[in-house]
Amino acid sequence: MSDEELETYSLVQLAVDRLRRDILSGRTDPGERLVEEQLTRRLGISRAPLREAMRLLAQQGLVEHIPRRGARVATLSDDDVRELYEIRDVLERHAVTSMPARPDLTALRAALDVMGKATDTDDRLELANAHRRFHVEVVALAGNRQLAALYESVLVRIQLYMAVNMRREAEAAHASDGVHRHERLFAAVERADPAAILAALGSHGARAYLG
């Protein structure tokens, strides 16, 4: 990769990271227009890397391109949300039934540690990201990389749905409650108890996997 290509890649990644954080933190609302002129000024980049970043975010389901109207933050209908949760549940069940009897829990334990640190800093976005990473690591124990990648893409879109509530602090539960729930899930995985793992996953509720 040439220096010019590396610089372009870095600018694209910068734009992806900044816009993704804005979207998943609830700083930008679903359906809000993403105006190129404003974004290039705010991010300090040209249109080419910005458009590539928007394309990548569209692949992740976070940005929508509307013909003749430009780009906007993705929106989810009630049916979209219901279907995403259904897919999440199916993927989790498949992963749990496919786990080896003695999985390597190193990455899962590390994800739990990150969650604890995110709780201590009281950063809601980082905490939501940490919860998502923990769930992805649970599913990754099945040893199917494609399954884990698909599962994470579903969770990112659910996190988009949760973003407005997160910003408005609509959830009343203490952040530490989420850590305790995930500790119980970790214990079930450590015991290699599929029924207990599924019960722990189910106890998170349709809207509570991030909390």
**Same domain, residue pair 60 and 154:** no
SS3 62: coil
Give CA–CA dist 145/141, Å, rounded: 9
**Same domain, residue pair 56 and 84:** no
CATH no. for residue 182? 1.20.120.530
**Same domain, residue pair 157 and 86:** yes
For residue 110, the model assigns a pLDDT of 95
Number of domains within the chain: 2
**Same domain, residue pair 124 and 151:** yes
Among 20, 40, 73, the domain boundary falls at 73
**Same domain, residue pair 25 and 126:** no
For residue 196, the model assigns a pLDDT of 94
For residue 176, the model assigns a pLDDT of 66
Which domain, by its residues, includes 66? 3-73
Among 43, 73, 103, the domain boundary falls at 73
The half-sphere exposure of 190 on its side-chain side, counting CA atoms within 13 A, is 11
pLDDT in tens, the chain (211 residues): 455 555 666 899 999 999 999 999 888 889 999 999 999 999 999 999 999 999 999 999 999 999 888 899 999 999 999 999 999 999 999 999 999 989 999 999 999 999 999 888 878 788 888 889 999 999 999 999 999 999 999 999 999 888 766 555 444 455 567 788 899 999 999 999 999 999 998 876 544 444 4
Q: Does residue 144 form part of some domain? A: yes
Report pTM: 0.84
Give CA–CA dist 193/60, Å, rounded: 33
**Same domain, residue pair 45 and 109:** no
Among 73, 101, 127, the domain boundary falls at 73
For residue 6, the model assigns a pLDDT of 52
